[in-house]
Amino acid sequence: MQAAGSHPLCRADAAGARGRGRGAPAAQAHGVRPEPGRRCPDVTMTPGARTRPAQAQSLEPAGSRLVSGAAMPPPPARAPARTARVSRCLSFSACHRLHSKSLSDEENLKLFGKCNNPNGHGHNYKVAVTVRGEIDPTSGMVINLTDLKEHMQKAIMEPLDHKNLDKDVPYFSDVVSTTENVAVYIWENLQKHLPAGALYKVKVYETDQNIVVYKGEERVAEK
């Protein structure tokens, strides 16, 4: 009989079975258990190096990460920010008289015609307010329309609806109440309620034919 550990088949003696002592096969020290009747594979160890069996090599794709043993794809790229413009309309009624304190009565009559009538005249104004901004990824909105409605109520309806612009609105005590100046007034009033940079455009319809658009410009750009 052959002594334990000398048989060509891999058989560890009592000491080698625990991976201790000189009789432990090199393959067994690396966790490889040969099948019965087969020889142990030759394993060459480089001093200071650590190896693992070929079948244990990671096959995970580049850029992925392992979670509980499963390969997970990289997180999706964040969608680009989208901007949009949102408009809301309302109507208000008001009266006024076109008259400039810088002109004589004759000059005012010549310039404004029947709109200079001392008794004044009225309009059913229509106003479209446009705001702009990024579409919020959570709410899907640029602005809550309920909030915009409240801002327009405070900035437009409360000070202007069913009012005499020249007598009831201090802004027009020294400013001619043309539709252009009404648009400027609405713009400046809305700026007090909306977030900075949100207001994009104010559009005022004096009639279906007479329309003023104001975007906050202070003067005509020089060419």
Catalytic residues: 115, 162, 206
| 84 Cβ neighbours under 8 A, 6+ residues apart | 132, 133, 135, 142
Cα 43 to Cα 38, 39, 40, 54, distances in angstroms: 15, 12, 9, 12
CA distance 15 to 21: 6
Partners of 214 in the beta sheet? 202
Kindly state the greatest CA–CA separation across the chain: 138
| Nearest one of 132, 177, 136, 129 to 156, comparing CA atoms | 129
- How many CB atoms neighbour CB 155 within 10 A? 23
Going through 2-48 in order, the beta strands assigned E by DSSP cover: none
Question: Which helix (H) or strand (E) element contains residue 57?
Answer: none
Which residue type does 223 have?
Answer: K
